[in-house]
Each structure stands twice: as structure tokens, then as C-alpha cells.
Amino acid sequence: MYICRHFKIYELVDKKTFDRFGLHAWMFLNPTALQALDGIRDFFTELRGKDTPVIVNNYHSGGPFQYRGLRPLSCAIGAEYSQHRLGNAFDCDIKGVSAERARQIILEHKDDPRLAMITCIEADVNWLHFDCRNIPDRIRIVHP
């Protein structure tokens, strides 16, 4: 079992899931995707030379996001076979780094051990989507 060093469970699952399962909601998330999320935080903090927050869900603090991590099967947001439904994807914002720049940096440093688990990123959106799907590509770029 892997529990993120930089994220609380309520930042990674929707409110209904958190209210029902609490800390047990970790079981719905792929450990590889969780390690990749911690890796992104560590990588960008080192790259920028200062603590660099990564935001997934922020509903717990009054923000608008609750489906940027796990999306329950009942959620109408996203594609039917979304990696989010498998606990295998995150949409996030990296403080001080645009989504496009974050994608470029990840592709430039894809062999860094902290980023090596990422196998897919989404282009043409104003957030960073990454996932850890089981594919032969090193990093597949998908377009919504």
C-alpha cells in the first residue's frame, strides 16, 4: 500500500467517496499513479528551488475541483473509459508553472526516476493531465 507524502486523501478523491470511505479511500488509487504524483511534486520543487505545490482537488477548502483524481463510476464528467475511473490519473495545476510548460518539462526529463512512471499526458488543456496506463509507449500524448 502506498500513501502519498505530499497529498491528503481528500485531495485525490471526490467528496462523496471521502465521506463514505475516509482514509480507506486510498484503496481505490493505483500506487504507481500516487508515486508519480509525489514524484511530480518532488521534481518541480527541486527544479524551481522552492516548495512548489501541486493542486488536484480543492473542494475541501472551498475550491471548485473534486473530480480531478478518482472519478466514481457514477460521475458524468470525462470519458467512459477514463483512467480517472480506475484511480490511475490525475489532473493538476503546478503552482508557478503553466500546464504547457509542465508538459514540455516532463517530456524533456521523462527518464528522471521521479517522472518515469508517467506513460500518458494530455495536450491542449490548461491543466496537467497525466496517467500511468499500461501501454508500450514511453509517454503517449493524447488530444481531448
Note the pLDDT tens digit of each residue in 38-88.
999 999 999 999 999 999 999 999 999 999 999 999 999 999 999 999 999
pLDDT at 127 over 90: yes
Q: Is the pLDDT of residue 25 over 90?
A: yes
**Per-residue model confidence (pLDDT) at position 47:** 97
CB atoms within 10 A of CB 138: 12
Cβ-contact 55, 37 below 8 angstroms: no
**Banded pLDDT at 101 (limits 50, 70, 90):** very high
In degrees, rounded to 5, the angle at the alpha carbon of residue 44 between the alpha carbons of residues 68 and 69 is: 10
Using an 8 Å Cβ cutoff, are 10 and 57 in contact? yes
Backbone angles phi and psi of 39, in degrees to 5: -65, -40
Write down the H helix ranges in 13-117.
15-21, 31-48, 99-108
Give the rounded percent of residues in the chain with a pLDDT score beyond 90: 99
Whether 143 shows a pLDDT value over 90: the answer reads: yes
The pLDDT value recorded for residue 18 is 98
Region 123-130 average pLDDT: 98
**What's the whole-model pTM score?**
0.96
Question: pLDDT tens digit string along 70-84?
Answer: 999 999 999 999 999
> Does position 144 have pLDDT exceeding 90, yes or no?
no
Separation in Å, CA 76 to CA 43, 67, 143? 33, 10, 19
Closest listed residue to residue 25, CA positions, set 66, 62, 70: 70
Task: Quote the mean pLDDT of the chain.
Answer: 97
**Residue 20 CB contacts under 8 Å (≥ 6 apart), including other chains:** none
**Percent share of the chain, pLDDT over 70:** 100
Measured distance CA(129)–CA(114) in Å, rounded: 16
Q: Which CATH class name applies to 9-142?
A: alpha beta
Please report, for the chain, the start and end positions of each structural domain, with discontinuous segments joined by +.
Answer: 9-142
CA 120 – CA 140 distance, rounded (Å): 5
